[in-house]
Amino acid sequence: MAAGHELHPLILVPGLSGNQLEARLTEDYSPPLPAPQAQQAAGWFRIWMDRSLILNSAALRCFAHQLSLVYDPDADDFRNVPGVDTRVPFFGSTEGLRFLDPDHKDSSICMDTLVKSLEEIGYQDSLNLFGAPYDFRYSLAAEGHPSKVATQYLQDLRELVEQASQMNGDKPVIILTHSYGGLLTLHLLNRNPPWWRRKFIKHFVALSAPWGGVVMEMFTFTCGDTMGMSFVDPLIVREQFRRTESNLWLLPSPKAFGDRPLAITSDRNYSATDMAEFLQAIGFQEGVKPYVSRILPLLEEMAAPGVPMTCIVGVGVITPETYLYNGEGKFDEPPEVVYGDGDGLVNLASLLALESEWFDASEQELKVIKIPNATHAGILTQEFAVREIIREVLDVNSAPT
């Protein structure tokens, strides 16, 4: 066990849907269902995640509507549905990352196990261990396009890095991310000057990061998602998932997947280079413009940040690689699935995308640790995976700065 004062401060950045989110409804809110079916909560309430909000189809429709985003073409940015305010609780602490629903403490999809393991080696919440939750529905945008919410998050994260360093004798900071949090952190580094990175960043450890997107995201856009709960009708929440900006960023990237078919129908194959056409074909025309203008150029922004970096990924888990749509509804019916390698959610080509992207970047230190049978969410809880993560954190702490 290391002494707390010897450890470099560490900031946890969760993945998509990996932290709590609160909402409140104003008088401008118009529910998708008439009262009394529509839920009308008073004041601030935890919308992500509170299972009591989705126990029936009427409640689920309200939940999905309140979490949806709207693209404003005049502002060229995304915003909440009118009448819905949101906020992220517990910024700076690990409190909002440990459990999504404190009333149902399921640690299988959160960071509680990892946080406890970090505490065992000397980390203490809000002293040398910090959490950086965010509104995971939003994404960054390509240069020249506004992304108010996500850009503000990067500013807040930068300030947290500086504060964490100052609180710990000016030691540089370890940033430990999961999944989508890795994409945001890479942009944090690349959008700040080299001197800042050298002064404040000790190491960047990315767990299960989908650098090149996720093939399964195409399935989410066509058939929805149960959010891991069998009683949830995926088609009810499909529109909300489509209207989550971050999901557009997680569609498969041409850099990682090239032009091989990922979705196959009777009359057309869709590769990562055809995502705009895919969105149009599934009936989500409103997603085409923001994808083409804001997201597609963003996928090219993968410059090496020049700070020491470790990618820890799960491998050897069957992962959807191609979808075969044969139903009469073309896309509404669940497709046949061809599987490949990955962590069960993120494909191997995406997990390892930085290896090929940075192969000739001599100034970039990149270490890749592959953990057989570690799943995308399980890497945070599976004992053998967490042991590898803690070992790497200890190695990083012992390395000379």
Residue with the two structure tokens 């190695």: 395
Domains and CATH numbers, the chain: 4-15+90-398 (3.40.50.1820)
> Where does the pLDDT of residue 228 fall: very low under 50, low under 70, confident under 90, or very high at 90 and above?
confident
pLDDT value, residue 58 = 86
Per-residue model confidence (pLDDT) at position 37: 55
114 Cβ neighbours under 8 A, 6+ residues apart: 12, 380, 381, 386, 389
Share of the chain above pLDDT 70, in %: 95
- Per-residue confidence (pLDDT) for residue 287, from 0 to 100: 97
DSSP states of 145-214: S--HHHHHHHHHHHHHHHHHHHHTTTPPEEEEEETHHHHHHHHHHHTS-HHHHHHHEEEEEEES--TT--
Catalytic residue among 187, 274, 343, 350: 343
pLDDT tens sequence across 268-326:
999 999 999 999 999 999 999 999 999 999 999 999 999 999 999 999 999 999 999 98
Mean pLDDT of the chain: 93
Active-site annotation holder among 179, 208, 246, 350:
179
What does each C-alpha distance from 90 to 93, 98, 130, 134, 149 come to in angstroms?
5, 11, 10, 10, 17
Q: What mean pLDDT is predicted for residues 337-366?
A: 96
125 among known catalytic residues: no
How much is the pLDDT for 143? 95
Judge whether 8 counts as a catalytic residue: no
Give the pLDDT confidence score for residue 1 in this predicted structure.
47
What does the pLDDT read at residue 95? 96
Residue 229's pLDDT is: 75
The answer, yes or no, to whether residue 254 has pLDDT greater than 80, is: yes
Least confident among 13-27, 99-113, 138-152, 183-197: 99-113
Q: How confident is the model at residue 329 (pLDDT cuts 50, 70, 90)?
A: low
Q: What are phi and psi of 60, to 5 degrees?
A: -65, -40
pLDDT at 5: 64
Mean pLDDT across the stretch 333-340? 94
| pLDDT on residue 104 | 79
Instruction: Quote the DSSP letter at residue 335.
Output: P
Residue 230: per-residue pLDDT: 75
Task: Please report the pLDDT score of residue 51 as a whole number.
Answer: 85
* Residue reference for tokens 């999809």: 109
Which residues partner with 45 through β-bridges? 23
The mean per-residue pLDDT over the stretch 346-358 comes to 97
pLDDT digits (tens, 9 = 90+) for 233-242: 888 889 899 9
Which pTM does this prediction carry?
Answer: 0.96
> What is the DSSP secondary structure assignment for residue 115, as one 8-state letter?
H
Amino acid residing at 206: A
Q: Is 356 marked active-site? A: no
Tens-digit pLDDT profile for residues 58-83: 889 999 999 999 999 999 999 999 99
Read off the pLDDT of each residue in 137-160 and give the average, rounded to a whole number. 98
21-25 and 201-207 strand pairing:
unpaired
